[in-house]
Amino acid sequence: MNYKLKIFLIVQLLSVQLLSAQLFPPSFYRSTELDSSLYNSISFRVENSNFLKNNEYFNDIIQGYTLIGWFVNPKLIYYPAKNAKIEAGVHFLKYSGIDSFTRVLPTLSFQYKINKSIDVVIGTLYGTTNHQMIEPIFRYEYYFTDNVENGLQFLFNTDKYKGEVWINWQEFIFTGEDKQEIFTAGITNRFFLSKKENKHQFSIPLQLLFVHRGGQINQSRQQSISLNNDAFGLSYQYNLNGRFLKTLGAEQYYLVYKDMSSSYQFPYTLGYGLYTNLFASAGDFHAQASWFYGDHYISLRGHPIFQSRSTHPKEYYEKERALLTGRLMYEKEVIKGLSVGAGLELYFDLYNYYTDYWYMFYINFNRDFFLKKFKN
């Protein structure tokens, strides 16, 4: 306990020294704002990512693997009203070394601005990295592997609060089918204690995630699962807005894991964790240093490396996990909408004394092309 306490105090002191920016470079996010000037017009949008991510993991929790391929989602966008938008397209995911497409999915979404502070989205959602959840709860790699989320989403934005409520329905079932319905529901909140435009910005982040596998009309022999992960804490961000140094920030989270299933499938039904993030954004560079401690912590949607449960074929558990991580990413916008980037992250296990890492290269292209404005 003295060893853990020393690490915790050191990290807290560092966070005071290094005064949250976005977790990833800008091309990984999409604006949720509606453009009223596009009323009664149609546009063409392309969302594309070409990626190579090599995960060099040698631990007993998660095995190493390589992601190499690309996805593209061409779509048409129409504004039937100043406060409403319809998008329709197709998402193609292709891994290198496979002749066929891994996924071909139609995408369709309708977004309606209820008032100046609330939007509702039904169909294809603003998902993955747009949820801005921390990685022990929700894994950012879904941006490449599971970029399409479908369901219902509410977006909130006021002077003192920004958040979203969403449900991603991943597996639909019919009566008598031998499979489970699967959905993920999340709530992301940030309560601002100071004005958003202030250089010194204090806020309270609160994140909740629910994962369910089950169903009442199916004939699956698998046991139903309902897991909950929560995170709440305190955030400080210093907005310098300089030519080179842009932001510095620190966040401290307390994490909770709870198995809410009627019959438990894992040996741990309750766990917790501590997660400290230090951020810096300078020029085209984005840096992050983190410390994580988990006790009986499990998350089905988070990065497995933070968990007490192994994803190896052979069942294996570690009651406690403690990691120091460091990430550096570089992204340059070459032309409008076209960004080239690279990244590296190290994971040092404080109990088992080994270092895992990943490195990544990518080209992201996200751009709208105006086509036509119709007469009223």
279-301 pLDDT tens trace: 999 999 999 999 999 999 999 99
In this prediction, residue 305 has a pLDDT band, given cuts at 50, 70 and 90, of very high
| Overall fold of domain 2-373 | Porin (2.40.160)
Average pLDDT over residues 191-198: 86
Which of these ranges, 93-102, 113-122, 189-198, has the smallest mean pLDDT?
189-198
CA of residue 267 relative to chain centroid, distance: 27
In whole angstroms, what is the distance from residue 46 CA to residue 336 CA?
Answer: 13
Q: Which residue in the block uniquely carries the two structure tokens 């453009």?
A: 35
Which strand (E) or helix (H) includes residue 7?
Answer: helix 2-17
Tokens of 301: 């949607």
Map out the domains of the chain as residue ranges: 2-373
The dihedral through the CA atoms of 303, 309, 315, 317 has a sign that is positive
- Among 186, 206, 185, 202, smallest CA distance to 194 is for 202
State the pLDDT at residue 1: 41
State the pLDDT at residue 217: 81
pLDDT tens across 213-250, in order? Answer: 888 787 777 788 899 999 999 999 999 877 788 899 99
State the pLDDT at residue 174: 87
- The yes-or-no verdict on residue 5 having pLDDT over 70 is no
pTM: 0.90
- Among 205, 271, 212, smallest CA distance to 21 is for 205
**Cα diameter, the chain:** 72
In this prediction, residue 22 has a pLDDT band, given cuts at 50, 70 and 90, of low
- The yes-or-no verdict on residue 206 having pLDDT over 70 is yes
Listed in sequence order, the residues at least 6 apart from 58 whose beta carbon sits closer than 8 Å to its beta carbon are 64, 354, 356
Which of these ranges, 39-43, 138-142, 312-316, 336-340, has the smallest mean pLDDT?
312-316
Tokens of 56: 């060099």
- Among 309, 327, 323, smallest CA distance to 351 is for 323
Highest mean pLDDT of the ranges 3-7, 311-315, 357-361 = 357-361
- The yes-or-no verdict on residue 199 having pLDDT over 80 is yes
Average pLDDT over residues 251-268: 92
